[in-house]
Structure 1
């Protein structure tokens, strides 16, 4: 009996579960459209669609949504068949083997009285009963893909989830207010009423005001606020009177009125439920801009102009205007004739991309180096604008337009020729004469054959352009670009090539790091970069000190070549370890370091000054004075050609390459060809002799590396420079400015060679001093150890002979120092070891 009751309970439980599954299945299939529409409507209301639509449209939206819900409800009720217990029994019976429920209802048709048949039937019922004991409820089929082929139910569920996370579900209750809005609109249509809004300008950031709900009698509103007034009902009953706008003869009874607040005054709505407001207009002041000091020349000739701009709300734009200050221009040489008319430069002012713009402190940075007005007097003004179109302008600043400066005499001469061509096409003939004068015996005037060839090509191009009947604008611009490139080559020389090689090596290595190149390829590119770095550092060190421009304030951080090598070693280690991200970050730091790199003469620590330091400083000063003297000599040569004079060493009438018109030019009466801006020829000769004597005195001072090959080379170069100076003085006394200019160039080149040799000698002296300091720390420096015993130097004990070559000793010392620096840069080492390494580096 208990066994039969347990079987019945199991079967009933399975039947009830199957019936619930049928209910869920049929409800889902019948009412999924209703749930989908309900979720979509709920999400739309939560996102505030009722606020975006007009009142009538919002009412229509609500009614349409209710109608859609009702239609889905009716459709679902019509399609919903109520499941019965028989349906549940039929589904459960179909899932069991042999359909046991049907078998339990069967009866014996033949042989019911036979005992064998009865026994067989009883065994069959027992087997069916055992199957029913294992019956389990059949879940409903909730898959709706064949009913919802477009997945609308998923779209609705996603919209509802997003509304819960990012919208305001409580706004669904706003739907009940639509009926109130509808009734209000009906009341407005039936009787006289009014509405008014105030919309402040967007740039003020103030919210809109609905005047029907503002009880204050006084309001403060920004100028430019838009007032909108609407009347409803019979025309002529309601009117508005205002004194805040600049409208002329408005009709106060117009049903729809818009006006802008321009001044303080009064707004009155007259009629049923009328109101009055006293309006105080908040004026919008014009923006203000001031220039913070004079423009500054940045590295590379960039102009930097600091400024401060302020406004009540925000500065929306601005520009900087550059005009030529012709009255302040030194009208000599190529600038003597009237300039070609050029429009003033107007450049958009950069503003912060984010943040407040009511007070801006920024800097305008631009490169005017290639403009014809570079390094000439200009008038600088800055203008800013606010959102209302009001403008503010700074005071005019009469300044020199910053541009790149050229210290090499030949480069400066080429830049002056370029400036004259851009100043006026009428300078073309004069520029051609000067270029012919410079190219006479030009082998000693140019430091490289490439520069000489490019100068000759540019001269020929200018001659061909004039032969064609005048210098056209396109040809002039082409010539200007060629002269600029030539000046850069003359100024930077091999340094530009070394820098280009270094940049190419960096780009290739960076590309290999990003693309995951093989270790062998990375090693090859790293070696190429190291070689390019050595060449670049050497060329940079050989540049004369007077080429660098002093930094504008702040402290200068000195970086030695060893530190750069350590950084490169660390980059290589990170790449070998596969830490490419860290290697790329260090590579970016190295690139930023090289952008601002300047090699100081006599690199090293803060140790005692090396012998000959004063001599090197004096030589640099003499080189600067020689450059100034060469500039004055070149100015004298220009004046001779401008006056038509012929000096020795210059093309004479009848020489090949001179036209008949040029050969017929003579010296103007009343001009003294010897009197120039830089002084007479005799004054220039005296200055040259004084400079030669000063250089001779420099040779008598202690020089770095005396007795060494580097020191001998430096002394020989200084002697050559002194002889060239004396020859230049003799040429100046004879009036041969061209020959003097060539000898002055020889003198400057020899002085540069001397500086290079002295720098190498100073470096060698520092290495020897470092070795001596190391010996003094470990012994008495006389070949004996601290106990007075003779050192073992590779031979017998006690010998005084050093069996190692001198270069090997220095190489070994450098290797030890590099190893110490490499280990000290590995921050993962123990702190005690790092402290010990730092103390060793401080000592040596």
Structure 2
């Protein structure tokens, strides 16, 4: 039998350190498995004592609990000692050997059983031992398995550890010693001597923890104002006494449970055995701070956005924005010369963060005060906030003009100005009524919508009646609301014709640029013009699809694509953003002329589609209804005419208007000698006929058109009943509602027809449009010349920023010339360009 080679002995010697570490791990593993019940019992006992259970149990219960705990700990100790076995070196070596492939440690201790005298067999055996020795050198210490989940199925060790950690954080380990001093709790304190406990609870808004006075040594103690002090005295009554000067009462207390609030700096002293004293200092609680953090921003619809910032050491609770009229800065002219009626300050709640920290935050006041009487007048805005203690904080006054909706239409501006004067003081009622009558003297020159004119006349009559009877605040506010609605109607309009709406949007935008409107207002008006442009182009597209052949034969028709319009609008917005208003006005005028030159033709051969026939019929009904409403208004004026002359004139005008209605080749079917009620009934019958012959259009627009026409029919029925009852004022309101509903129906029907036409011919039209566009382009994408030749002599930069484009080209040439990795020929060419330009 061969002996173990020296290499095997050296390999076994290298196992000393891994085996030692493995053995230590086995000790820890067996100790954990044996003594985890003991550690669980000890942690539970310490946690209970640290939480002060001994102070709330009678002596018998406390001793019984301690006895049970001691018995459980003794049992766990005895069971652990019996279970624990100290690991031997052989056990550690065997565990280490199990982690290596082929059990090399055991193999090194083996001897060759056969073939001892054979040289070849011995050579194989030595090679085997050498391989095992190499594996032994790779041995590493085995990690211990400290898991005892199989033994502790209910996780009692985790419960004990959690309770112990909680007691260390929220309790006091020093209280464990109280068991030796007063093991019976409060009852034992009576026999062993006086004792005390105390807590200082800061106010909840400070979010600071409660202080346990027994753990705080004598000296200075800083606490927030309003903190609650609670003391508990145990033992003989009168053995301990309290002296304090922080509650404002300067009174001593020797009771069992004195409690008081700290309202000022002073001293708290517990006199008697084991007593202690503290000099109380109040922690500073600074007042909150609030200030404006940016300029006020105003949107086109009058919405006000005012940023502000607020901060406090503990947190802001609430805040207000108080707006007062700066009467000294008001330009006291026209309707503002009279003394204003007293009005309360305008108070707004400041927005507060819903979640998060309120110690320091930035917020935005977002309000729309367009209908307030002080809009456009100088005001003063002051912000105020409070903290939880009630301390106030105020900002500096911000002098500004109260923002509101801006009106660009001269008529709407006049109505809003009289509304402001009326709200300034009721003494301006007669003056406002006279001015409004003067403004509406010739309605055909200033009103685009007869319903707005009729509503204004009704508002004037209510105002004059109120002035005659003594204008009350309620009547004043009712008239002011009516004037606001009329001004909005005049400003925005309710136009069914796309071209008229487009012109209106262009006028509003031009007026805004001339008056120096804000960027937000210009942006909103620009968006309004884009939408009006899209509606107009959709109408043109629908019409061109109906009569494409006739429009193709018309050589004078101005053609423009949607992309070109979009480029012009983008260029217009770019000029306005750059502040180049003169160029923007010029481009807007060019756009206006271009749209006016565009022609809208009818279908081939003069034949109209059913949709177009329905639109024409509704338009004629709308005109007839407007004329009938005008005659009803003239008849209403006759009722208030005292001398009768104006009545005769109104009757003549009515007969003239009636004669004109008879002469029209409309679809109303008016007959000579019909009364207003009968003519209203004729219009209602014509609307019923048009509703029955409406083309079959679906979608939301089609349903909206039908609903609007139904609403118009019901309003016509009510107007007819009012006319038969000689209630002209009520009939005017119902007729105005019918006019509005007819306009809504026409607009929705037009959108439905356009959508239906696009769905039917959209794909084919796009393909034909692309083919025609490609035929009009040369290989380089340029428009062909007038005679079809390749190339063009037109200005390639027309309508663009020529100088800006030139700068961009020059910068690009310089950038490329600085790139030395480009070919030499290209660099020479770029250099020649730079030398030339």
TM superposition score normalised by structure 1: 0.44
TM superposition score normalised by structure 2: 0.44
